[in-house]
Amino acid sequence: MLDEASDVPEIDSPSRSSGRLGSVFWTSVGVSAVFVVWAVFFTENLSTVTTASLNWVTGTFGWLYLVVSLGILIFLVFLAFSPFGDTRLGKDDDRPEFGTITWLAMILSAVMGIGLVSYGVAEPISHLATPPHGLAAPNTPEAAVRALQYSYFDWGLHAWAIFAVFGLAIAYSTYRKGRRTLVSQLFVPLLGDRVNGPIGKTIDVLAVFATLFGTTTSLGLGALQVNNGLASLFGIPVTNVTQVLIIAAVTAVFTMSAVTGVSKGIKFLSQGSVVLAVALFVFMLVVGPTVFIANLYIEALGTWATDFFRMSLQGTAFGGLEWMQWWTYFMLAWWVSWGAFVGVFLARISKGRTIRGFIMGVLVVPSVVFFTWFTVFGGTAIHIDMFEGGDIAQRTAQDINSAFFATLEHFPLSTVTSAIAILLVVMFFVSGADANTFVLGMMTSDGHLAPRRWVLILWGALTGLTAVALMLGGGLNALQNTVIVASLPFLIIIAGLAVSFWMELIADRRADLTNRNAAAFLKTPLEGKTDV
């Protein structure tokens, strides 16, 4: 959790605001409330509008998600290997507060999230049955390789590049330049004083909406996962009522956590979720088809690396829009919507690190962890369906949220492992939403790092209500449609902040060289000096 009582350090900005509630707060809350009312009372109309908007956004600008995310990734790799890579995220004499292993563990515990359970089996097994872009015949060895290849693409470098560029820009702006922790402040090099006017406020409002809908998507997915797990264990029906009750209960818990600042509880959740995830991973690696998984991992990784740039720029000129909406476009939009939240978190734990160290740590290690998780669980499900007569793909097609539990049923202690999976989802659920509530409160309190309690309560309630409204208005489809549409303006903002960050790096490097030359000149004795 990100608050004053947390073990994660605060961003020490000399320009802290008083936390006043201005137009960003009132506009964000007002529009969010209108959206909830729209979803509750005009559900069919909302579904019609979001579906039409989705088709227009992805059909017209889908390519932009591909180009921007790849461009950011290339930019970060260039930065890491350029002279700028030695620049500190802070003062030149600042050093990291956390050791590298601890730092990486904190990143993984904060960002791993519900997606590991929601999609760890569901995406690979879905791609096995319906190979991406028709690149293989269904349920064939080639389809199995393609299934993991595209899972790596959706959960790998592109996602972490979006998070990394946010984290870099926020850490540099706050620690090195002393600005407030607001997305608009990242545009000072590009927009100057206009960031304090209507343009800057618009940027902050868009950041709020992107974060809100990214959070509600996670809440909805979490509720669906928990409901399916309870159905597997106790026969509890998978219904809207059950899912609403789950969202309500979890919303109450994470809102109370954000308000009371129970840092030990959230620290326990973060550490406990990692321990449970590792335990579940090791169990599956031991009882699953280990040799098959290892061979599939190597082959899929090679195919992913070989096809990397083709996948990164593969659009819909010759069809495939529906598939891209369900997978690649949705995933990229989800990462964009999480950019501000994850960026703030990464900034808060990375003071004193070099740009090079930050980029390499954030891009490489989490990607490898996700690749390995998807291979072990997704590869196991693939083996069951291809060689053991399983029906995981068929059950996933009927309900995508049943995939993980359907896989666990094929192994010993399925009741125990299913219970662990449910507990894992709830722990990710609470810790992630708690941090998001804080970030929403901070962004609507002029960047203040201790938002008022009632502001946190309000954002917690609005987050839960929005998730419930979308679930009742169309379930997973409504969640996916909304996050894609809401993320488009923020995608432009991400591209702009990358340009602004680059401009600031160049300007600071020139100023630094000028100062060094001036200092060297002053220290150099004047030639031909004579006594008077």
51 part of a folded domain: yes
515 part of a folded domain: no
Residue 20 confidence (pLDDT) = 66
112 part of a folded domain: yes
- Average pLDDT for 347-366: 92
8 part of a folded domain: no
pLDDT in tens, 167-226: 999 999 999 998 888 899 999 999 999 999 999 999 999 999 888 888 888 888 888 888
Query: How confident is residue 84, by pLDDT bands cut at 50, 70 and 90?
Result: very high
Lowest average pLDDT, out of 44-48, 64-68, 375-379, 413-417, goes to 44-48
- Average pLDDT for 255-263: 66
Query: How confident is residue 482, by pLDDT bands cut at 50, 70 and 90?
Result: confident
Q: Which residues sit opposite 354 in a β-bridge? A: 88
523 part of a folded domain: no
Residue 102 confidence (pLDDT) = 78
Residue 446 confidence (pLDDT) = 86
Range of the domain at 376: 23-508
Q: Which two tokens stand for residue 375?
A: 């291979």
pLDDT at 530 over 60: no
Q: Which residues sit opposite 284 in a β-bridge? A: none
Q: Which residues sit opposite 88 in a β-bridge? A: 354
Most confident of 183-197, 253-267, 271-285, 429-443: 183-197
Higher pLDDT among residues 529 and 368, named by residue? 368
The answer to whether 104 and 361 have CB atoms below 8 angstroms apart is yes
Lowest average pLDDT, out of 71-85, 211-225, 255-269, 383-397, goes to 255-269
Query: What 3-state DSSP class applies to 359?
Result: helix
The answer to whether 500 and 199 have CB atoms below 8 angstroms apart is no
- Average pLDDT for 303-321: 93
Rounded-to-integer distance, Cα 483 and Cα 331, Å: 10
526 part of a folded domain: no
pLDDT at 92 over 50: yes
Higher pLDDT among residues 6 and 155, named by residue? 155
pLDDT at 64 over 60: yes
Higher pLDDT among residues 232 and 257, named by residue? 232
pLDDT over 70 percentage in the chain? 91
Residue 418 confidence (pLDDT) = 92
pLDDT over 90 percentage in the chain? 44
The answer to whether 216 and 467 have CB atoms below 8 angstroms apart is yes
Residue 387 confidence (pLDDT) = 95
Average pLDDT over the chain reads 86
pTM, two decimals, is: 0.88
Residue 399: how many other CB atoms lie within 10 Å: 16
Return the residue matching tokens 């219904």: 239
For residue 25, give Cα distances in angstroms to 292, 371, 434, 447, 451: 53, 39, 19, 11, 12
208 part of a folded domain: yes
The answer to whether 442 and 451 have CB atoms below 8 angstroms apart is yes
Most confident of 87-96, 105-114, 408-417, 504-513: 408-417
Query: How confident is residue 395, by pLDDT bands cut at 50, 70 and 90?
Result: very high
CA 232, distance to chain mean position in Å, is 28
Please give the helix or strand (H or E) that residue 236 lies within, else none: none
Total tally of structural domains belonging to the chain: 1
What CATH number is associated with residue 59? 1.20.1740
- Average pLDDT for 283-306: 96
Residue 10 confidence (pLDDT) = 45
The answer to whether 411 and 290 have CB atoms below 8 angstroms apart is no
- Average pLDDT for 422-441: 81
pLDDT at 401 over 80: yes
155 part of a folded domain: yes
Residue 524 confidence (pLDDT) = 64
pLDDT in tens, 124-164: 999 999 999 999 999 999 999 999 999 999 999 999 999 99
Rounded-to-integer distance, Cα 409 and Cα 532, Å: 96
Query: How confident is residue 73, by pLDDT bands cut at 50, 70 and 90?
Result: very high
